C-alpha cells in the first residue's frame, strides 16, 4: 500500500483568482498534475506533517450521503467513488476508498469489497448495501443508511455529552485534590508535627495520602502509564474492556436507563431497515453477532433469539423483557402478528428516540448542580480536614 500525505496548495485559477486548499496525494508531482488538469497556474505546494487518524462516524456518514447522491444521479459506482476520493481530507478514508476502487476493478461487488476490508461500516449496513445492489436500488439504500446514521449520531452526541460532563468534573476534582495533597498538605503536616497533639481522623488520612503521593510519585506515575498502555491494548485486541464498560454502566442508575433505551433504538432501527430491504429475520440477527466491540448484552440476547427462532418459535416470544422493555416486546408482537413488523420496529425506534431525547434534556439540566456539589464536597472535605485542628485554638496556641 502506497503512503499518502496531506499537502497545502496555493494557485491562480483560469479566471485569475487566487485559490488555496488542502488535498491528499502520494507526492507533490501527482498533486501538481491534478491541479494543472483543473486549469490552475502558478502552483505552490507545501506538505502538512500530520499523523493519520481514524475517521469520525460523521465523516463516514457524509461519505455515504455523497455516494448516494452520485449513484442516484446515475453515475457509475467507480466514477462516484473516484470523485469522493479526490475530495476526501482524511488519509485513512482515502486509502480505504482506493482499496475499494481496486477491488471493484477486479470484479468484486461493492458490498463484497466492503465486507473484505471490514472497516468503518457495520455488518447491518453491508447487508443493506448488498440488498441494494441486488434490487438495483443502491442509491436509495445508501440514502436510508446515511439518514439512519445521522439520526443515531445526533442522539449519540447528546449521550456522549451527558457522559463526558461527569468525567470532566471528576477529573478536575481529582486534579485539584492531588495538587492540594502534593503542594499544600505537606506544609500543614510540618506545622502540626511541631505540636504534640492528636489530630482528627480526617486530617490523619489526608497526611497519609499526601505522604503516599510524595514518597512514591515515580512508582505511581510509571504504574499509571503502564496501566494506560495495557488498557489501550486490551481495548483494541480483546472484548474485555467493552464488556467491563457495559457491565459498569448497566449497574449505574442513571446510565442504566440511557443504555437500555439506546439498545432498544439501535436494535429496532436496524431491524426495521433490514426488514424493509427484504432480509430474512435470521440473517438480520446474525449481523448483530459479528461486531466484537458491540453491546455484549444485546449480542447475547440476539444469539438467544436466533437459537429459539431456528427451533420454530415466534420472534416476539423469544425477546427477553429484562433486555427489551415489556412495552417494546408487546408492540413488536402486535407488529409480527399483523404482518407489519418492519413498520412497528420503526415506530418503536422513533418513540424511544423521542423518549431518550427528552430524558437527556432533563438530565443535562440536573447534572450540573449535582456535580458542582460533588466537586465542592471533595475540595471542601480537604480544606476542612486541614483547618480542623486550628479550630481548637486552645490546644494549638501555647
Q: Quick: pLDDT tens for 182-238.
A: 888 888 888 777 666 777 888 889 889 898 888 888 998 999 899 989 888 887 777
- pTM of this prediction? 0.76
Q: Which of 70, 156, 127 is nearest to 357 (CA)?
A: 156
pLDDT of residue 396: 47
Taking only the tens place, the pLDDT of each residue in 261-313 is: 989 999 999 999 889 888 889 989 988 887 766 788 889 999 999 999 999 89
The dihedral through the CA atoms of 102, 103, 109, 112 has a sign that is negative
Write down the pLDDT at residue 15. Answer: 84
- The low-confidence residues of the chain, meaning pLDDT below 50, are 396-398
Contact partners, residue 388, CB within 8 Å, separation at least 6: 200, 202, 203
- Please count the other Cβ atoms lying within 10 Å of the Cβ belonging to residue 396: 14
Selection from 83, 84, 64, 79 nearest residue 132 by Cα: 64
What is the torsional sign of CA 127, 264, 66, 5?
Answer: negative
The burial of 207, by beta-carbon neighbours within 10 Å (0-12 exposed, 13-18 middle, 19 or more buried), is given as buried
57-150 and 151-398 have identical folds: yes
Look up the CATH superfamily of 151-398: Type II secretion system (T2SS), domain F (1.20.81.30)
Provide the residue ranges of all domains of the chain, joining segments of one domain with +.
Answer: 5-48, 57-150, 151-398
pLDDT of the residue at 8: 85
CB count in 10 Å sphere of residue 115: 17
Q: For the structural domain made of 57-150, what CATH number should be given?
A: 1.20.81.30
The pLDDT value given to residue 54: 87
Question: What integer pLDDT is reported at residue 195 of this predicted model?
Answer: 67
Amino acid at each position: 500500500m502506497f503512503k499518502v500525505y496531506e499537502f497545502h496548495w496555493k494557485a491562480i485559477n483560469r479566471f485569475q483568482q487566487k485559490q488555496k486548499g488542502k488535498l491528499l496525494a502520494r507526492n507533490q508531482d501527482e498533486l501538481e498534475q491534478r491541479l494543472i488538469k483543473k486549469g490552475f497556474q502558478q502552483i505552490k505546494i507545501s506538505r502538512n506533517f500530520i499523523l493519520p487518524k481514524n475517521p469520525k462516524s460523521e465523516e463516514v456518514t457524509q461519505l455515504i450521503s455523497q455516494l448516494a447522491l452520485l449513484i442516484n444521479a446515475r453515475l457509475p459506482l467507480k466514477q462516484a467513488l473516484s470523485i469522493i476520493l479526490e475530495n476526501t481530507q482524511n488519509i485513512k478514508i482515502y486509502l480505504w476508498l482506493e482499496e475499494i476502487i481496486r477491488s471493484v476493478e477486479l470484479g468484486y461487488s461493492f458490498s463484497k469489497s466492503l465486507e473484505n476490508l471490514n472497516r468503518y461500516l457495520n455488518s447491518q449496513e453491508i447487508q443493506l448495501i448488498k440488498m441494494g445492489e441486488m434490487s438495483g436500488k443502491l442509491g436509495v439504500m445508501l440514502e436510508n443508511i446515511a439518514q439512519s446514521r445521522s439520526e443515531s449520531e445526533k442522539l449519540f452526541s447528546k449521550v456522549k455529552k451527558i457522559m463526558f460532563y461527569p468525567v470532566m468534573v471528576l477529573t478536575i476534582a481529582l486534579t485539584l485534590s492531588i495538587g492540594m495533597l502534593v503542594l499544600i498538605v505537606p506544609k500543614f503536616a510540618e506545622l502540626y508535627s511541631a505540636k504534640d497533639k492528636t489530630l482528627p481522623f480526617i486530617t490523619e488520612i489526608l497526611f497519609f495520602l499526601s505522604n503516599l503521593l510524595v514518597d512514591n510519585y515515580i512508582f505511581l506515575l510509571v504504574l499509571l502509564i503502564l496501566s494506560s498502555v495495557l488498557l489501550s491494548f486490551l481495548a483494541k485486541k480483546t472484548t474485555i474492556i467493552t464488556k467491563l464498560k457495559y457491565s459498569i454502566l448497566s449497574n449505574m442508575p442513571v446510565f442504566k436507563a440511557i443504555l437500555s433505551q439506546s439498545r432498544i433504538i439501535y436494535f429496532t432501527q436496524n431491524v426495521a431497515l433490514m426488514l424493509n430491504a427484504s432480509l430474512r429475520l435470521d440473517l438480520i440477527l446474525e449481523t448483530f453477532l459479528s461486531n466484537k466491540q458491540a453491546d455484549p448484552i444485546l449480542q447475547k440476547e440476539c444469539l438467544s433469539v436466533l437459537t429459539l427462532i431456528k427451533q420454530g418459535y415466534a420472534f416476539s416470544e423469544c425477546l427477553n423483557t429484562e433486555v427489551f422493555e415489556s412495552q417494546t416486546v408487546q408492540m413488536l408482537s402486535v407488529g409480527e402478528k399483523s404482518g407489519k413488523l418492519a413498520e412497528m420496529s420503526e415506530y418503536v425506534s422513533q418513540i424511544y428516540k423521542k423518549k431518550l431525547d427528552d430524558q437527556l434534556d432533563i438530565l443535562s439540566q440536573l447534572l450540573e448542580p449535582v456535580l458542582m456539589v460533588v466537586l465542592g464536597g471533595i475540595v471542601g472535605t480537604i480544606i476542612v480536614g486541614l483547618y480542623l485542628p486550628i479550630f481548637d485554638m486552645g490546644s494549638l496556641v501555647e
